[in-house]
Amino acid sequence: MSWHRLSSGHEVEDELDLCIEKETRDEIIKSITKNKDESVKKLTECGLEKMGFLEVQEDIRFKFACSRKYMIDGITDLLENRKCTDLQIKVGDRTFNCHLPILQESSNYFLQFKRLDVVTLNTDVVTPRGFQMAYHWITHKNTKLARKHIVEIYLTASHLDMTELNAHIWSRLDNPELLNGLEAFKLYLECLPFNASVLQDLMLGRIHKYFLLAVATQEYLDLEPNHVCQMLGHINMCVNSEMEMFMSGVRWLFYDWPKRKKFAVRIMQAIRFNLMPSWYITGLKTPQSDAEFQELLNIPEVKSMIDLGLSYAITHNFLEPTSPLQEPLHMQKPLERQWVYHADTRHHHRCECSKWRYPTFEVFNEYLHSIIAAGHRYVPSLEYVKPGQMMECCQEAFEKKSLNK
């Protein structure tokens, strides 16, 4: 190995072992040395944008490793099978594992909660079965509401302010094809054990022509006194006359007269005696062959109601509608029922008609038996009474009597 001194004064080690030609070696030495007057050129700065790396305008689209259907099925499985839940709902002795975000999406009631572990619901309004069925409906896409237990679902949806479920329930309740008068009576009965006064009153108003069919049932006989009064006092109940309403009250009382006679005054207060014809009220003031019926009519408060009804029926015939005596004599006509008739029912005919039969309690019971026998054919056979309308045979009998006066 030897050393060479360059013209610049630097010493360069010469590797004797390297087989490099002299010309090549001189070029290398020349490239790494510079003269005193030479300067190192600086690199000009250059940004990415100037170099051509522009910002991407389109959104980057990611391709997931699993399909969309796989993800939807997975989320559905979490919801329907209540996996990875974050909240417990306690209703009575039942506990339900739920997803709070799902409840908040479906119920305004749960919007007040942010993060918690347990919510206890009032069993006076929400039942375990009602909550279970409501939660199942909101977490299962194709679930249809069953008719059974719909009152409990309604109470849950109302209390928890479940807007969509409530709308779905009312779309069924407001559909006359799905809810006729008989179904309304059934729903009314289902409401009684619960605090569902709004739905209960609504169903009462929809019984209509099914009223006497309901009166013929065991369920009617098992009602509490206040519920009987509600039915007898409702304006939308369809009967042929107030006499049928009176007999409906008597039927409930006589089912267990010894225990129910204490409710007689209360039940009779729902009857509008001033809608009865004078000839019928006069008949109530005569001695009765049935001991229980006579005992009912002998109750002082009931006798007073009958007397007022008779006074109205007689006086009303002699007073003009605009008479100043209407108010002091309490002669304002009460609201009438929904009057209906059946041509084959004898006590639905006018008293002048030869087909007419006096409506005793026995006659009323015979009518109820015919209703039971007719079943679903009974209601379509009823017709609403139009103002001034009479059956043809009754019209002829009435005109004949008028001519003979």
Q: What are phi and psi of 216, to 5 degrees?
A: -75, -5
> Per-residue confidence at 254, pLDDT binned at 50, 70, 90?
very high
CB atoms within 10 A of CB 31: 8
Residue 5 backbone class (left: φ over 0; alpha: ψ -120 to 50; beta: rest): beta
Q: What per-residue confidence (pLDDT) applies to 329? A: 47
Q: pLDDT, tens digit, for every residue of 321-380?
A: 555 545 544 556 678 899 999 999 999 999 889 899 999 999 999 999 999 999 999 999
The whole-angstrom separation of Cα 384 and Cα 340 is 4
366 or 104, which is more confident?
Answer: 366
Q: What per-residue confidence (pLDDT) applies to 67? A: 59
> Per-residue confidence at 73, pLDDT binned at 50, 70, 90?
low
Decide if pLDDT at 318 tops 90: no
Q: What per-residue confidence (pLDDT) applies to 250? A: 98
pTM of the predicted model as reported, rounded to 2 decimal places: 0.75
For the chain, give the percent of residues with pLDDT over 90.
48
The whole-angstrom separation of Cα 253 and Cα 37 is 131
Decide if pLDDT at 162 tops 80: yes
Residue 384 pairs with which residues in a beta bridge?
Answer: 340
* Helices and strands (H, E) in the chain, number of each type: 19, 8
The token duo for 302 is 């009931």
CA distances from 405 to 180, 349, 388, 389, 400 (A): 46, 21, 21, 22, 9
User: Which CATH number is associated with domain 68-178?
Assistant: 3.30.710.10
Rounded to an integer, the average pLDDT of 387-398 is 86
Give me the chain's average pLDDT, please: 84
The whole-angstrom separation of Cα 50 and Cα 65 is 37
The whole-angstrom separation of Cα 336 and Cα 82 is 55
Decide if pLDDT at 25 tops 80: no
Rounded to an integer, the average pLDDT of 184-210 is 93
- The answer for residues whose C-beta is within 8 angstroms of residue 12's C-beta and 6 or more apart is 3, 4, 6, 29
Please state which of the ranges 63-67, 187-191, 308-312 shows the lowest mean pLDDT: 63-67
- Domain spans of the chain? 68-178, 184-241+337-405
Residue 45 pairs with which residues in a beta bridge?
Answer: none
Please state which of the ranges 57-66, 178-187, 257-266 shows the lowest mean pLDDT: 57-66
Asked whether the beta carbons of 248 and 291 are under 8 A apart, the reply is no
Q: What per-residue confidence (pLDDT) applies to 68? A: 63
Rounded to an integer, the average pLDDT of 377-384 is 94
Closest among 191, 201, 190 to 235, alpha carbons compared: 201
101 or 295, which is more confident?
Answer: 295
Decide if pLDDT at 12 tops 70: no
The token duo for 363 is 């006659």
Closest among 397, 307, 294 to 349, alpha carbons compared: 397
> Per-residue confidence at 47, pLDDT binned at 50, 70, 90?
confident
Asked whether the beta carbons of 340 and 381 are under 8 A apart, the reply is no
DSSP SS3 for 102: helix
Rounded to an integer, the average pLDDT of 74-84 is 64
First-to-last C-alpha distance (Å) of the chain: 163
323 or 399, which is more confident?
Answer: 399
Out of 113-122, 174-183, 298-307, give the one with best mean pLDDT: 298-307
Q: What letter represents residue 8's amino acid?
A: S
Closest among 153, 157, 161, 155 to 108, alpha carbons compared: 161
The token duo for 375 is 């079943």
Please state which of the ranges 19-33, 99-113, 354-368 shows the lowest mean pLDDT: 19-33
Q: What are phi and psi of 147, to 5 degrees?
A: -65, -35
66 or 22, which is more confident?
Answer: 22
Decide if pLDDT at 212 tops 90: yes
The whole-angstrom separation of Cα 393 and Cα 353 is 7
